Amino acid sequence: MQERHITTPGPVLDEHGVITPGYSERSICTYRRADIKAPFYRIKEWDFYQVSDGEKCLQFTYGHASYAGQVAVMLFNFKTGEVIANISKLLALPFGSLHLPENAEQDSDICYDKGGVHLRFKVEGDTRYLSFSAPDFEANITLERKNPYSLVIHIPFDEYKTAFYYNHKINCMTARGRAVCGGKEYIFGDGAFGLLDWGRGVWPFHNEWYWSNGTGTVDGKIFGFNLGTGFGNTSQATENMLFYNGKYHKLGRVHFDLDTEYMKPWRLYDDEGRLDLTLTPCYDRTTRMKVLFVDNCCHQMFGGFSGRAVLDDGTVLQIDDLQAFAEHAVNNW
């Protein structure tokens, strides 16, 4: 499979609102919501942050599928299965009112403050400040990028020409901060890492995907991976990439083999013999949303990843019980 590596700046969408397929390791092209030619009610935009220390996980969500939106936070211990906090406020008919940024790497400041719920995502260079407060809950996290590279994909959908997925995932961010729920403090310090899943696009109503992401340390250096399939027409670009010691390593197509029972082991492997990981799940974070026309279900499986990954120079990394996740989602939105 020959993927298209985007290295020249230009618009994400052309004058007809059509995306040029490819991938890059930075925000090279310019995305503008005003360039979208599809109906406004098909536009989807989100910023999703996840912070994990190998035992507990804190997730922040702010986004919309045009006719339904969400501002949410979830704190849980995936080793014990305890859900500590799950606060979600649904936003009916938000359309473009959330004013999400058009670039995942440039400085920005997102704020939501209504009905006793406050959320803020502030980006200043390589530092990101995340905060969320609601009755009996607050969280403040600082993320620091430790790898200048990330994964950016420009993906079309075959269903119609103006459908597209422009997605940026940033791994390898160290995390520090805390959450307080019910008067109890939960600290994120050494060994905690952050992830950004930043998505903009026009999607067909029905879709199904598999996604896996994780960051940890291997041989004393920060290692991360992003793996996925099912996101549109990936004939010219996949979102499969490894990150290690400040560099990136592109992979081709990756397969997700799993049983009908989600808690049984998953195998993730590529076509070129450069990746072979087994996920042994310990927790199924199942989320469902059904509001207006939205009907989504996702099984996000947390657990230990073990196996091997081969870098571009042939170096073989042995992965031993790295705590991360893989998910299967079926969405009508």
User: Which residue, among 312, 251, 247, has the nearest Cα to 277 in the 3D structure?
Assistant: 251
pLDDT average, residue stretch 158-167: 95
Distances (CA, A) of 286 to 61, 110, 224, 316, 329: 15, 27, 24, 34, 10
Residue 284: both structure tokens together: 């199924």
Backbone angles phi, psi at 41, to 5 degrees: -80, 0
Evaluate whether 50 touches 195 at the Cβ level (below 8 Å): yes
User: Which residue, among 47, 52, 129, has the nearest Cα to 322 in the 3D structure?
Assistant: 52
Domains of the chain by start residue, with CATH: 22-332 (2.40.370.10)
pLDDT tens digit sequence for 299-332: 999 999 999 999 999 999 999 999 999 999 998 8
* Portion of the chain with pLDDT greater than 90, in percent: 87
pLDDT tens digit sequence for 186-203: 999 999 999 999 999 999
pLDDT average, residue stretch 212-241: 97
CA distance 220 to 235: 35
Evaluate whether 214 touches 51 at the Cβ level (below 8 Å): no
Give yes or no for residue 13 having a pLDDT over 80.
Answer: yes
CA distance 10 to 329: 32
Please report, as a single letter, which amino acid is at residue 315: T
